[in-house]
Structure 1
Amino acid sequence: MPSPFLSQSHGCQGWRGEMSERIRAFDWSTTELGPLEGWSHSLCNAVQFLLGSPVPLVMLWGRPGYMIYNDAYSVFAGGRHPYLLGSPVELGWPEVAEFNRNVMDTCLAGGTLSYRDKELVLLRHGKPEEVWMDLYYSPVPGDDGAPAGVMAIVVETTERMVSERRRQEAESAYREANERLHLALSSGAVRGLFVWDLETNLLSGDARFARTFLLPVEQVEQGLPNDRAMQMIHPDDFDHLNRQVEQTIALRVPFKAEYRIRQSDGSYQWVLASGRCEFGEQGQPLRFPGVLIDIHERKIAEDELLQLTHQLEQRVEAEVQARSEVEERLRQSQKLEAIGGLTGGVAHDFNNMLQVIAGNLHLLARLEPANERAQRYVQVALGAVDRGAKLSSQLLSFARRQQLQPTQCDPLRIYQGLGELFQRALGETIHLDVQLPRDSWPIYVDRNQLENALLNLAINARDAMQGEGTIRITGENVTLDEAFCAGKQVEPGDYVCLSVCDNGIGMTQEVLEHAFEPFFTTKPEGHSTGLGLSMVFGFVKQSGGHTEIISEHGVGSTVQMYFPRSARNAPDEEPQASDECSACGGETILVVEDDAGVRATAVELLQQLGYRVLTAANGELAQQLLDEGTRVDLIFTDVVMPGRIKSSDLADWARRQMPPVPLLFTSGFTRDVISRNQQLSADTHLLSKPYTPQALESMLRSVLAGRGAG
């Protein structure tokens, strides 16, 4: 039977409102309510009541709670209207589904619910909203009198609640501000209260304010020109104070300004002026009340903190810079170490080849003593061998593989023996300015290598000055600290610094970075091997010291060599060369050499010198000969050989014999097999390759002459 409420024949055309039309148009047959024409009498009456109410009402019908609501509720629903119409309430408001489930269970069981200022979070306009509502829920009976639905009255109180919250926050802020003001007034921090009358430009205040500005209390209480007080403010603070006043008046914001006030002793104290500007009905500024607070200690603390922060930043910056420099020096040192290892290996093989060439040239010269042409060719070739040997020596010096023979030295005595040589090498257009201390600490170095290093540096300085100018050679006792030694692979302690300084063209930063690398030179091709500075670097490092270059392009350069101070006792006198070099007596010499060419040349030279020669291609064969009882007068062995038995093992065997068997080493370089940092002990004898027959004979006689010692 058609519903009288919604049928035109029953007068429902008298109801107005958007929702009345939407309810008629909705297809209710898709819900459990069924078509509109079949609605029950109780449902129609409830809808009639709902549509006629100006209060937001929504009815939830049936167990699912199908939603039917009026125009006022549609406004509350926001963007969810009209999609809520006919939807089960838990689907319509899923964010509060549990809340609505409790409502349905309670009211369909005959109960009622009410909430005052219920806080919920709803999605009404596409985003979560915090809302407050008064909610009233009552059961709606069906035709049989049992609860068939729920009528909900929804009154939103969000605006009132937000206003109440803001009021409470404002009251709380006011109370806190008032408490702070009372606390400040009761503490000693407040320096006074003031009022500045902008229309009369008169400034008045309490006694504390007057004492702060060193003004008469009576005049301040009655009011005096503002300029009187301004005279006591630090001149550097005028502009800032005026800007703050102008900003407060123009923008109607609170006034705050920090400035200094002169005291009776001429010093200044920091204060904070805080206040506001009061305006008249026409918007004109009238009065400027405020409070003066003592902030002097705070400002002093802030300044100290600022200085501390600045110092800390400078220290951090310095530490970062120092670390970068250390890392760069470490990279440079590692690069030079790698190059040194390579050049040392090359020099070893090169010296072996030079020994074969030199040995055969000497043999050839002895075969044709009357052939002047042949002798001339041989001497030219031997000159080339000497140059090659010098080049190899420079490579070994850079690689720190040269054999050093250090002694206790006085730097002043070293130069005294070199003065004439330096002047001849440098030329008459170079002036030498030598400033060596007479109380210099002793150093333990190879004197010949030190002389070569000084001469190399002096020649470099001469070339940098294009042959004219003054070269200064200086020395000083210095103590290097940890900061200086960081990243330089040198230990802190006492050193003697020998410097060679010129006022030549200097070096660019790019040239300076490569100065110690072998074969690097800025001179024209053919004028330099590029090994001078690298040789100096290797020699000083091998002597336990450190080398630095200080240079500025267009100004000049200074090369500094730091040698550690020696703690050894100075010898009474320089060692004298032995006069004992007796003629060959036909001794038996065991030659141990893995290079066949070098071995054959050595055997030939020794035989021509009158020695009886035995040979072994490695340490194992040599040890086998000796263990079988072969008697020898001297072992002549290469230092570096393949195999299990090393040259050092042969040396140990020779020392254990009674009497000990003399042993003479030979090598291109030792790789620290028989030495420590290429510094030989007193009882170790080494003949460096390439060697001449004369050098070989002299060394053999010297070693044989000392047999039996120790």
Structure 2
Amino acid sequence: MNSTVSISNQRLAQALEIQAIGVIYLDMTGRLVGANDAFLAATQYSRDELQSGQLTWQKLTPPEWIEASEKAFAELRSCGETTPYEKEYIRRDGSRWWALFVAKMLDDDIAFEFTIDITDRKLAEQALERSEQRLRSLINTIPQLVWRSAHTTDWVWTSEQWTKHTGLSSKQSKGKGWLAAVHPDDYARVIAGWHPCPNAQRAEFDCRIRNAESGTYRWFQGCATPVHSTSGELLEWVGTFTDIDDQVCSREALAQSRDLLEARVVERTSELQSALDELSVEVSERKQAEEKLVQSEKLKAIGQLTGGIAHDFNNLLAGISASLEIMQQRMASGRTEHLERYSSMALTSVKRAAALTHRLLAFSRQQSLAPRSISPKQVIAELEELIRRTVGPHIRISCNFAAGGFVMCDPQQLENALLNLAINSRDAMPDGGTLTINTRHCRFDQRLADELSLQAGEYVCISVTDTGEGMDANVAAHAFDPFYTTKSIGDGTGLGLSMVYGFTQQSGGSTHIQSEPGLGTTVSMFFPSDTGPTPEARKQVQHALPEANGENILVVDDEAPVRVLVSEGLREQGYRVREAEDSESAYQLLAQDEAIDLLITDIGLPGAVNGRALAETFRSKLPGLKVLFITGFAADPQLEAAASLRSTALLTKPFAMVDMTERVHSLLTEED
């Protein structure tokens, strides 16, 4: 009998050693009278503190969870055990953790309770809920009517905008119910334009959809995009309806106006003056209709922007691919002449692709700039010849620079902004004139800074002035609006000034316009002054980059070409480099050998663990680990904040190998 009890006690003791499950014993006052090591580790309390008798479940429970815990405790007293429930606990340092609890009474008025840490699951659920809420908010904010369907034309979900416009709930629209909102005459057009099949591609079709509030039909453009599985199987359709009623009405108005004009000219040849008056009215109406059509076409162009981007990038990728294939063929056959020509072509395409990304991100104010301390005078002086060739010989250029002065901004984007402004000035002076570029120092107190939407302090102003046509107050007020232009159709996109404005805003400054009709225009860009050491002074104190000392580097990137080339470049510098294509293989390398000095990881890794989460896990094992994030898009504020921490850096693709090598040297030689 004693042997059996001893074996049972031994088994119980071994069970309590399980680190994944915490166990506590409580008396009926709520005082903890015992706990295993797993529970003490989770709460950060010592066994001495437990044995002091001061620990209670009330002390470990947040105030908002007291009522729920008391109900569970009452259930324990009355029923002898509790149903499993989830709540938060407070650690010794004040932080919180989530756990799953279940308790049972023993014979001596003592209860024992099992706890399982579910913090990671709860955080993942909260993150998923936030992500879904953001997606729902985005879908319900855009004016398009959004829907999803099965692999057939049977709908399974609709957005709030659809219900608001048609009056049909998501339930009423399921299956073929959505067709109740479509004009009966348009059924055939919709089915013909959208015919689901296993090899279906993106489909577009126009139809009239009934508005529940007015009872009338409006024209919409439908767009259905197929979603395929990895094996190519058609899973479902995601689609939108975009209101194009104004565009259709504008076209009809233009056609009616043209027919009416022709009829009236023939009909009233005997009354020339009267016909001319009416013609003027009709021309005015036609102009208004054309303006409405152009505006609606611009709105439609926004929806097709992604297609244009894909087209441009495909062209650039074609140039890169063709150049590299020719180089491979020539090297395989032993012909090494002219290889530099093809590598130059590929590199040119890469730079054009990067420039396209930079321009798009500057417009959306999501561009990850590469600011450094620069002299505006030097940038303008180096750019002056290009500006002269751009504006032509009929325009005189004058540059006046204030002495000294440095700003912290991206020099390439500053060049783009100056070229944009120079081109605008050229177009405003078709008969010639003077283009003046000035720099000056400014100091703004709070009152002046508020008027210019700036922070009080010192600034460098770069102004571009022309002697052209100028603009009135109404045009100047809309000059920074995207797509706003006074040029003829096809002569301008209306994006130039908006891109300049976005660049200065992102650099901590602002852009302002002064203009009057007939007196020319001045565009002033204000940048915060860089009061730190000048670039020349920095160069004098900068030491040579240290040689590699065989430091261990782990490179994680699912893009094999990027991973291999980065690794080879670092090995050339004398580093010991290992590679991983995803987080799982990276964890395996960590388990084999924890001798890692620097982790270089892409942000967008395949699987559930991204680059930032991977870095956090590695640092939990290796607290002194240096981290270099590499990414093609750095608009996430949280990522930029993480990259600003000590021993962490961010590098945006595409990057030069020398830039990557310098960043690695800087991180590895940084003092902890």
Q: Give me the TM-score of the superposition, normalised by structure 2.
A: 0.43
Structure with the greater alpha carbon radius of gyration: 1
Q: Give me the TM-score of the superposition, normalised by structure 1.
A: 0.41
- Higher RCO (C-alpha under 8 Å, 6+ residues apart): 1
